[in-house]
Amino acid sequence: MRSNDDYPCRADQRMTRFGSGCKAMQTPADEILRDESGQTLVVVALSLTLLMGAMALVVDVGFVRYQQRQLQTAADSAALAAGLELGNCGKTVCSNMITAAETALKEDGITTSTITPTTNSGTLACAAPTAGSGLTMMINVAPCVLGASDPNFGNANIAEVVLTQPQKLLFGGFVGMRSMNLVARAEAGDAYINGSSSGGNCIYTNGMLFNSSNGNFTLNSCGVYDNGNLQTNSGDSVTASTFLYYGNWSPNNCNSSCVWNIGGTNTGPPTKTTTPQSDPLSSLTQPSQPANSSTASNTTPNSGATLQPGYYPNGVNLNSNVSVTLAPGLYYMNGSINVNSGASLSGSGVELFFANGSLQPNSGSTVTLTGPATTSSTAGTTANMVIWESKTNSTGMYLDADSNSYYNGIIYLPNAGLTLNSGSGNTINSKSTSTALDVQSITVNSSINFVINGSGGYLGGSPSKILGQFGLAE
């Protein structure tokens, strides 16, 4: 018999004898097509391309986020700078505000050139920020970009700054995105202020006590906020735009005999609120102790003397019938200023800061003081602060009735009480143009009429606001 080896392989099958059978013949092309050694290289190349694309995206995202943070920091700084000029600019965008915002951008290294911003003052409609070829800035007095969704919408005590800047992408061009516009927005001012015509609050206290009958507060165009317990007595009356108390009210004999003119004539009594308010001035930094005044040793000045600002380690005592003037500036007292009966003390642009002691005007004396119009780092003064006690000073201040005395500015006693006494007459502060009280407590003795004229805007309200709980509002 013939074995398999005796049968030749078919020629048309391009086969060759292999052992006892036939095997297809391999051409060079067939070998190349069947070779799998290059597939890994292709997969690796594709994977690397995707990985590099992902890495490029991560780099771009990280870079953009970094630039956005830088721009937001600059917007915060520019808003704070603009907001600090609200009082000086009359709550409009003025040159001082623009310069302050521009300077903040330069100090943050965002730009070295002058930026001319678009501006909007006090209207509720403003254009949306638009991108330009470089950094652009919009300044609005009364935030308006977000519309009614902004809790500070239309509040003229807030400055809004919007920065827009085109940002080139490092690798975005590979996917058709070469740049994008970054937008940063910030607001700064005093959100505590009531922007309505009521003038906000001109009295803040942690406890108001009408100690006896017939006490009277007359507050023209501003309100009272009592953050503690309120006590009244028979015959008391309060005229104010608002009167809120947070704690408890002990009306005593007041139910039928007290007169309330709260936002109108013969209205309802004070309103209890469930929302506590913090001290609007608590964030202020106390002044630093300056060098001794050139007149510090003159603790009992003669009539006609003019005292100079600076540090007074032992206080000052004004004897009877002595008239003394205070030159403008900061008086840093480590003791009381006693103004005895018949003596007078006057000064404009004056801030009295008491590390210890207090101002003690006795019955029959006359005190006429007006705080600084602006904050001055050189003088060490804070705008409109006329009397300020240290947070660790618990010395109470006593004001006796006198029709000629007045205090234009803020009386700030964060850890001490203010007592209003009868004296030569029954009226206190009636000749003031604007006053605000931020005190730990207020005690009103019998038949006292305390008057605050003006808006009392220093603690919140229009039209005059320079000092308050200032900071970034959003």
What pLDDT sits at residue 414? 96
What pLDDT sits at residue 284? 83
Per-residue pLDDT of the chain (474 residues; tens, 9 = 90+): 555 555 555 555 545 554 555 555 555 555 555 555 556 666 656 666 666 555 656 665 767 788 888 888 888 888 888 887 776 677 788 888 898 889 888 888 888 777 878 888 877 778 777 766 788 899 998 888 888 888 778 877 788 999 998 877 766 555 556 677 888 898 887 554 444 444 567 899 999 998 877 888 888 777 888 999 999 988 889 998 889 999 999 998 887 789 999 988 888 889 998 878 888 888 788 999 999 999 999 999 999 999 999 999 999 999 999 999 999 999 999 999 999 999 999 999 999 999 999 999 998 899 999 988 778 888 898 888 999 999 999 999 999 888 789 998 899 999 999 999 876 567 888 888 778 899 999 998 878 888 887 654 566 533 333 333 445 555
What pLDDT sits at residue 21? 56
Instruction: State which amino acid sits at residue 451.
Output: V
Q: How far apart are CA 399 and CA 443, in angstroms?
A: 11
Q: Which residues, other chains included, contact 74 with Cβ-Cβ below 8 Å and sequence gap of 6+?
A: 104, 105, 108, 110, 163, 184
Closest by alpha carbon to 195, among 451, 465, 454? Answer: 465
- The position carrying tokens 């009636």 is 430
Q: How far apart are CA 264 and CA 35, in angstroms?
A: 98
- Residue 230 phi/psi, 5-degree rounding, is -105, 135
Q: How far apart are CA 418 and CA 398, in angstroms?
A: 6
Q: How far apart are CA 353 and CA 80, in angstroms?
A: 26
Q: How far apart are CA 325 and CA 337, in angstroms?
A: 13
Is the pTM higher than 0.75? The answer reads no
Closest by alpha carbon to 208, among 254, 156, 159? Answer: 254
Task: Write down the domain spans for the chain.
Answer: 55-189, 201-460
What pLDDT sits at residue 337? 97
Give the tens place of pLDDT for each residue, 236-278.
899 988 899 999 999 988 877 899 999 888 888 899 988 788 8
Q: What is the 3-state secondary structure (H, E, C) of 263-296?
A: CCCCCCCCEECCCCCCCCCCCCCCCCCCCECCCC
What pLDDT sits at residue 44? 58
Q: How far apart are CA 356 and CA 353, in angstroms?
A: 9
